[in-house]
Amino acid sequence: MKFNPKLSWEFLSADEIAAKTLRALRNHIKHVKEVSPYYKEALWDIAADDIKSMDDFNRLPFTGRISLAEHPAKFITVEPHSVVETVATGGATGKPILCPLTANDLERLAFSQALSFRSTGISAEDRALLLLAMDRWSLAGMGYYRGLLLIGANTGRAGVAAHDLCRQYCESFKPTVLVGAPSFFRRLSVDLGKAGFDFKESGIKRIICAGESLKNQNMEMNALGKRLQETWGAKVFVTYTITELADSFCECVEQKGGHTHPELVYPEIVDENGRLLPDGTPGELVATSFGVEGLPLVRYRTGDITFKVPGDACACGRNSVRIGPILGRTSELIRTRGASVYPLTIMNALDEMDEISDYVIILENDDAHTDRVSIHVAAKPALVEKIANHVRTAARISFPILISNISTIQSMRGNWRKQVRIVDWRQQTPRR
Ligand SMILES: [Zn+2]
């Protein structure tokens, strides 16, 4: 397969993208009603030709994470022999959601990731080192790998390697691009700094940070992002992948939000009651994926809180919708003493403190209207007050800080793939 970025709509005018999107949505509805047992039932009273405007589309029912987790077979639209890879994501019911991918789905994923990386300036001249999990059912790591191959970059898969090995890889492979989780780069930077690694001479120009947000609600880089840029003398980009959509949203060279791929996904932002929100207002990301064969979805409630970046086209020339940083999960919104706090606010405050080696935030029910929050940090006991003050200043609410150690914090996380920073033990009313 040859990478053909001209297949993307991202440089078309906003009007052209809107017209193509409406046609794609109509075709998508026609398709899923024919092939998907779930949508045959859920959209039984809707004809694709009735969708004459975006308003018509916005009246279609949502697809909840619970429905997908409980009835995965109803969503699968291909014969078992067409599936060439299965990936998984943490399920809303505690069970992982398995997502089947066909050969075409893998090509679509590679195309999506190649577009994303290309928008950061990565080319066939680059050498990219992947420092994240390629196993454990991960779509993201596999997608980054395929996208880099499609661009033609010389790509090495190191995995979550020991820090002394990372140093050796940097010195021998001489990567120009690193891809991994921000928390991994944070610890790697500290260890390599202690070992006298010459960051500025390393030749690394770009660090692609996956899976964790590095921006605040004002789209400013947080302390960790700034520190990574300063330490490595490289540009730090944020990318965010949704397994169920087999797509990602990545910052371009302008770094003003993650570009969506209009030919692959249609994004919406809605409030708790499912009403569309204006650009700039945070709410839940809802997305419809185009061209997915294994697991096509309509108005899928991702559970992630973000917003559409307001304003005109991006200075990079792309007219695709951009979304802001992921501020948290809908299920994670903390309600305490009459106020609501996005978990990202607390995480950004903790990330700013070099003295904290690791942390986890535990959420529990207190009573019907209040959540109990405890923040476990790996830090010196003498720092409790300093950390508590810092978090209070950022969140405008005080939370208890409990001193712990790295291994205890690790054991609180459970065993899912991501570096979990929030553990939610609250009883929830699931949304279907
Ligand atoms: Zn841009």
Q: Specify the DSSP element, H or E, that contains 17.
A: helix 14-35
C-alpha of residue 315 to centroid of ligand 1, in Å: 6
The one-letter amino acid at 281: T
Confidence check: pLDDT of 114 > 60:
yes
C-alpha of residue 10 to centroid of ligand 1, in Å: 10
pLDDT band at 370, cuts 50/70/90? confident
- Residues 117-122, mean pLDDT to the nearest whole number: 98
What domains are defined for the chain?
A: 7-329 (3.40.50.12780), 333-424 (3.30.300.30)
Buried residues in 169-194 as b, exposed as e (16+ CB within 10 A) = bbeeeebbbbbbbbbbbbebbeebee
Radius of gyration of the chain (CA): 22
Closest CA to 348 of 383, 303, 393, 403: 393
CA of 409: how far to CAs of 115, 156, 376, 402, 413, in Å? 37, 31, 7, 11, 7
C-alpha of residue 322 to centroid of ligand 1, in Å: 8
- Residues 192-210, mean pLDDT to the nearest whole number: 95
- Residues 187-215, mean pLDDT to the nearest whole number: 93
pLDDT band at 337, cuts 50/70/90? confident
**pLDDT reported for residue 266:** 97
pLDDT band at 134, cuts 50/70/90? confident
C-alpha of residue 236 to centroid of ligand 1, in Å: 15
Tell me the three state secondary structure of residue 48: helix
C-alpha of residue 250 to centroid of ligand 1, in Å: 9
- Residues 413-424, mean pLDDT to the nearest whole number: 70
Which residues crowd ion ligand 1, with CB under 5 Å?
252, 254, 314, 316, 318
Tokens of 102: 């066909």
pLDDT band at 92, cuts 50/70/90? low
**pLDDT reported for residue 299:** 98
